[in-house]
């Protein structure tokens, strides 16, 4: 009796043998890897264990230690520390591939189990320098104090991780003698007044920075803010409602952290809706009150807070001539405080109508706050 399937079966057996042989050959074929900077070839056992057994790395086993680092049992820690292509691996059987870069070093110590108590160490904002420009630098990250009590040794160990403190760098700009000044307006937009201010700025081809109050950006206010933005002026927030309520209309420091943040973020939202773009994260706080707690609470939300070194005193309504005289006394790098809102600002309008052409005749150029921030800090002393 003949079995026609026998030749096919035989062929299949041969194919399996060939495939198996190829697979065995590929598995046993040496691969080139780099171990601790040395180029080597691994044959059988292409893994961390093979590297150690072949003597290409001779890691020392770590110890079993107490919470304070004292050795309780030598050689009872981790057998090795290994990285494959910068990724940490713990299994000695980790399979390696040709071209892998392997680092093998001594094993880490193993610490006894412990009872841990963790306390948060809050970060603080560090104050540096003086001046009208207040720039927040760095991210605030809380530190910690961990108290460990060893289950075996009974020892106590305290581990401190210092907080990462951001810096509020306060400074005067060093313009190198360049006659630039930053003209700023608070408390707008304000019907009629803001429009008149914008007309005067346009007539004189100068730029200014407006610190707006968010709840005043109503339908008419949106148009005024959009016009100011389109004409190249910098639009910033002076908070949403000028710290009303708990802030008594003048001091964010009297408000909770949540209220402070809301004042700023809602102010941003009002500007964003008016101009159709993300607002500047440069702000001015009501009353210029920018104490340490306010700095800490607002630091993640702002890039800078802007004070002033020339107060036009227009809020006192001393008369247009007196306001103009204050402005005419400007110097290179000065930040001037004026108001386009918050009440009758007709004196301010008349004052800038007089002072701006005068200052231009003296060679001054008007810049936005962002442009002033681009100048380096003046050396103290």
Per-residue pLDDT tens over the stretch 204-222: 999 999 999 999 999 899 9
Residue 4 lies in a domain: no
Per-residue pLDDT tens over the stretch 315-327: 999 999 999 999 9
- 140 and 179 fall within a common domain: no
Residue count of the chain, please give it.
381
Least confident among 40-44, 144-148, 336-340: 40-44
Residue 379 lies in a domain: no
Per-residue pLDDT tens over the stretch 120-150: 999 999 999 999 999 999 999 999 999 999 9
Q: Are 31 and 42 in contact (CB under 8 A)?
A: yes
- 45 and 157 fall within a common domain: no
- Domain membership of residue 323 as a residue range: 170-373
| Three state DSSP letters for 3-15 | CCCHHHHHHHHHH
Distance CA 70, CA 73 (A): 9
Cα distances from 364 to residues 10, 42, 177, 308, in angstroms, run 98, 74, 11, 17
pTM of the model: 0.77
Which one of the listed residues 134, 238, 339, 340 is annotated catalytic?
339
- 155 and 283 fall within a common domain: no
Whether 187 is a known active-site residue: answer no
Q: State the pLDDT at residue 99.
A: 95
Which residues are paired to 282 by β-bridges?
304
Whether 192 is a known active-site residue: answer no
Query: How large a percentage of the chain has pLDDT more than 70?
Result: 92
- 279 and 332 fall within a common domain: yes
Place of tokens 């598995």: 27
Which one of the listed residues 186, 187, 251, 314 is annotated catalytic?
186
Overall domain count for the chain: 3
**What is the mean pLDDT of the segment spanning 359-366?**
98
Cα distances from 151 to residues 74, 109, 115, 144, in angstroms, run 18, 16, 7, 22
CB atoms within 10 A of CB 258: 9
Residue 283 lies in a domain: yes
């Amino acid at each position: 009796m003949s079995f026609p399937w026998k030749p096919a079966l035989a062929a299949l057996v041969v194919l399996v043998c060939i495939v198996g042989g190829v697979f065995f050959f590929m598995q046993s074929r040496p691969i080139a890897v780099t171990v601790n900077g040395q180029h080597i070839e691994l044959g059988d056992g292409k893994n961390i264990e093979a590297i150690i057994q072949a003597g290409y790395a001779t890691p020392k086993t770590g110890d079993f230690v107490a919470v304070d680092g004292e050795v309780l049992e030598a050689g009872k820690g981790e057998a090795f520390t290994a990285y494959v292509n910068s990724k940490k691996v713990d299994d000695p059987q980790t399979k390696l591939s040709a071209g892998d870069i392997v680092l093998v070093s001594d094993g880490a110590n193993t610490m006894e189990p412990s009872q841990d108590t963790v306390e948060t160490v809050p970060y603080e904002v560090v104050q540096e320098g003086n001046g009208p420009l207040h720039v927040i630098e760095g991210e605030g990250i809380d530190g910690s104090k961990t108290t460990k009590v060893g289950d075996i040794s009974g020892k106590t160990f305290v581990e401190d991780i210092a907080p990462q403190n951001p810096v509020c760098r306060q400074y005067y700009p060093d313009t190198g003698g360049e006659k630039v000044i930053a003209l700023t307006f608070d408390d707008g937009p304000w019907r009629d007044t803001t429009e008149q201010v914008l007309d005067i700025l346009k007539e004189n081809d100068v730029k200014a920075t407006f610190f707006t109050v968010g709840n005043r950006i109503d339908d008419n206010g949106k148009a005024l803010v959009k016009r100011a933005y389109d004409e190249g002026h910098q639009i910033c927030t002076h908070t949403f409602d000028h710290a009303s309520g708990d802030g008594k209309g003048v001091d964010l420091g009297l408000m909770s952290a949540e209220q402070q943040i809301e004042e700023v973020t809602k102010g941003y939202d009002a500007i964003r809706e008016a101009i159709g773009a993300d607002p500047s994260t440069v702000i001015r706080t009501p009353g210029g009150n920018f104490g340490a707690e306010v700095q800490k609470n607002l630091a993640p939300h702002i890039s800078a807070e802007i004070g002033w070194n020339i107060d036009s005193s227009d809020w006192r309504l001393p008369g247009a001539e007196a306001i103009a005289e204050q402005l005419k006394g400007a110097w290179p790098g000065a930040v001037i405080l004026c108001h386009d809102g918050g009440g009758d600002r007709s004196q301010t309008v008349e004052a800038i109508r007089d002072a701006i052409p005068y200052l231009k005749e003296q060679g001054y150029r008007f810049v936005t706050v962002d442009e002033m921030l681009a100048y380096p800090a003046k050396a103290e002393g």
